[in-house]
Structure 1
Amino acid sequence: MLIKLTGHFQGHLPQLIAFDLDGTLVDSVPDIAAATDRMLVALGHPAAGEQRVRSWVGNGAGLLVKRALADSYDPAAVAAVSDAEFDPAMAAFREYYAEENGRLTRLYAGVSDVLNAFYDLGVPMAVITNKPKIFADPLLAELDIARYFELVLGGECLPQKKPHPMPLEQASRQFGVSSARSLMVGDSRNDVEAAKAAGWVSAALTYGYNHGEPVANSEPDWLLDDFRELIL
């Protein structure tokens, strides 16, 4: 147990483990898609459906809403969305997602067992997500895992969010730990790039949300097919 994990830290446990939320700890797309489709229909657009929404998540709620309005992941199309379109859409999405949040979202297999194992070992844990904290906190509570995390940083908590290293650097400072002894566990290139820029070790799960490309392309330090591989 933990041999692979400690191997990334010269035989020691990490001083801090931070987890992404959507696509890493939880599959939240069913709720996000329901809120997105309600927003689109309310504004006179056709519903996008869960499959399309799944390809748009991962960079925060604001960018998700712009991609939905553009019906595209293409940066040029997204940039063309005007504030006049975006502002009421964002307000509607927040309203609908507050109602949907947690209804269909589920923990991935093994998450509770792994978090409990690290908790028993005394390893400090945090959530660093691009999801707004106003949605992240109640979701963690609803799924009964909030107690494991001493810090939850949402996408709006700091001037920059992942893939910028600022949230990880803030966590290192707040816990008083070494970057080289900190682990970022995520599912997308945003998590891997943030970890690299912050000097953290990165672990990437292959099952999450990464805009249709293999997360292995981002070259994480550790590639996982199953959350339970963190302790096996």
Structure 2
Amino acid sequence: MHPILSGIHLVTFDLDGTLIDSVPDLAVAVGLALADEGLPEPGESKVRDWVGNGSHKLLERALRDATGELPASDVHEAVHEAFLHHYGQAQSARTRLYPGVREALDALLAKDMRLALVTNKPHAFIDPILERFGLARYFGLCVGGDSLPQKKPDPAPLQHVARYFGVAPQHCLMIGDSRHDIEAGRQAGFRTLAVPYGYNHGEPVAESRPDAMVESLAELV
């Protein structure tokens, strides 16, 4: 096992950009929501830099890019609702599992690790995606961006997970692809591990100084 796992009893994963590449489906849904308002579609490359702070922030960034200004609250909410509708219609059509994910999860379960998922994605979208890729059985708890009043980079979701499993923070590991994952983990007292292939607003996640990095989650085992 990777040295970062020494003394670890609970491993918490981010979802988008860490376990799955969901941007192709997110980009289609964002484009359709904007098109409903007669606005231009942003394209996948822009959306890849906008994800990570939840769906409301994603649509705020998309609207600001399309109009050049901060959206009015009623427009923002209408476009956000349209996005949720479009994304819910085909949220896994183009999404893919990153290489090494299943091997890592299997190995961690075999070592009797407790596994949890903490994502800023709305909770309603978590179960269908996990079922689609056969991942639901791995996680003892899944926390979405709307499950609690706070979401990453606030440490509260990770603190909630640690309390749920009764594991002290120093025996917990947060794995993610963005500075928000690393900040949340650090503030919660978790060890942190980053993968470089996900979404971090165009910045190298190494700049967030995680405790360790791997090119693939398969390196954990």
TM-score (norm 1): 0.92
Aligned positions of 1:46-195 closer than 5 A = 46-71=40-65, 80-195=70-185
Query: Counterparts of 1:223 and 1:114 in 2: how far apart (Å)?
Result: 14
Query: Counterparts of 2:25 and 2:168 in 1: how far apart (Å)?
Result: 36
Residue 15 of structure 1: CA displacement?
A: 1.1
Query: Counterparts of 1:137 and 1:165 in 2: how far apart (Å)?
Result: 23
Specify the code of the residue in structure 2 equivalent to 1:158. Answer: L
Specify the code of the residue in structure 1 equivalent to 2:4. Answer: L
Select 2:13's aligned residue among 16, 19, 24. 19
Specify the code of the residue in structure 2 equivalent to 1:81. Answer: P
Specify the code of the residue in structure 1 equivalent to 2:37. Answer: L
- Structure 1 outlier segments of 4+, above 6 Å: none
- Residue pair 2:12, 2:175 contacting (<8 A) in 1 also: yes
C-alpha RMSD of the superposition: 1.2
Specify the code of the residue in structure 1 equivalent to 2:62. Answer: A
Specify the code of the residue in structure 2 equivalent to 1:36. Answer: V
Correspondence 1:4 to 2:3: yes
Aligned residue for 2:200?
Answer: 210
Aligned positions of 1:212-231 closer than 5 A = 212-231=202-221
Residue 40 of structure 1: CA displacement?
A: 0.8
Residue 66 of structure 1: CA displacement?
A: 0.7
Specify the code of the residue in structure 2 equivalent to 1:39. Answer: A
Query: Counterparts of 1:230 and 1:221 in 2: how far apart (Å)?
Result: 14
Residue 5 of structure 1: CA displacement?
A: 3.1
- Extract unaligned runs of 5+ from structure 1: none
TM-score (norm 2): 0.97
Specify the code of the residue in structure 2 equivalent to 1:228. Answer: A
- Residue pair 1:32, 1:100 contacting (<8 A) in 2 also: no
- Extract unaligned runs of 5+ from structure 2: none
The DSSP-based 3-state class of the residue aligned with 2:151 is coil
Residue 64 of structure 1: CA displacement?
A: 0.3
